[in-house]
Amino acid sequence: MITLTALKWVPPFAQGQVRDHRVRWVLKEVGWPYRVELIDTVVQQDAGYRLAQPFGQVPLMREDGRPTLFETGAIVLDVATRSGRLLPGTDAERAHAVCWLFAALNSVEPFLAQLAEVDFFMKDEADKARRRPGVIAMVDTRLGQLDVVLRDREYLAGDDFTIADLMMSSVMKVIGHTDLLDRHAAVKAHRDRCFARPAYREAIAEQRRDIAAHGPRDMKYASA
Ligand SMILES: N[C@@H](CCC(=O)N[C@@H](CS)C(=O)NCC(=O)O)C(=O)O
């Protein structure tokens, strides 16, 4: 049986965002059963957990007889490859889908994450006001470049939904608190097309249920 880790509780702005939704989503897409182990920061900092996930993050995916995997990109690629689903049929198309999987994580997510950092974690309002316009401009440029690609196709690689689409649409959640996608209709339509999938909706509902069953008091914090 596959086990993935997720956080017991996160503040409202992060609910429905925590990256374990990507693993729940891909597993639901391929129809593989799994269980979820909900953890707190004490577990995140535990030496045993760090052996499997050196950064103490979620999610990781454990499975009997297989190496424990971390990094959502690696996990969705592993599930797609082994299941023979969510990747195009030819080698060339598969390589293209993997390109876009990496692009979502390396060339898009870091830009969007900077905005989340400014909006949710910068405390000093003056610093925030100085930094935000530049970050918005960078995000807008990236989204504009992606919009050009998506104007004449429904999915990033081939004719069907692949893990590249799963990851790119998931990455868009990072700026879900803004209206920036309103300026990039093709990216927004692509995201909405992916989010209309039953597996996505079930994955998010499941994550929200797990979090709603807990509260800040369940999220024990290690002292270190
Ligand atoms: N690149 C990693 C990022 C994982 C990540 O950032 N996880 C966050 C939750 S979305 C986390 O565990 N944060 C808690 C922490 O870093 O202590 C992946 O895609 O798996």
Domains of the chain, CATH where assigned: 2-85+200-217 (3.40.30.10), 91-197 (1.20.1050.10)
Distance CA 204, CA 99 (A): 26
Burial readout 41-52 (b: 16 or more C-beta within 10 A, e: otherwise): bebbeeeebeee
Q: What is the mean pLDDT of residues 207-222?
A: 85
pLDDT band at 223 (very low <50, low <70, confident <90, very high): low
What is the percent of the chain where pLDDT is above 90? 94
Taking CA atoms, 189 is separated from 9, 54, 71, 150, 170, in Å, by: 30, 36, 27, 9, 13
pLDDT band at 224 (very low <50, low <70, confident <90, very high): very low
Q: Which of 55, 70, 114 most suits a substitution to test ligand 1, by most atoms within 8 Å of the C-beta? A: 55
- Residue 193: pLDDT over 80: yes
Tens digit of each residue's pLDDT (9 = 90 or more) over 115-154:
999 999 999 999 999 999 999 999 999 999 999 999 999 9
With a 6 Å cutoff on the Cβ, whether 16 touches ligand 1 is no
- Residue 28: pLDDT over 60: yes
Q: Which of 10, 53, 58, 166 most suits a substitution to test ligand 1, by most atoms within 8 Å of the C-beta? A: 58
Distance CA 184, CA 164 (A): 19
Q: What is the mean pLDDT of residues 65-85?
A: 97
Q: What is the mean pLDDT of residues 154-165?
A: 97
Q: Name the residue among 114, 143, 144, 107 with its Cα closest to residue 131.
A: 114
Q: What is the mean pLDDT of residues 173-198?
A: 97
With a 6 Å cutoff on the Cβ, whether 72 touches ligand 1 is yes
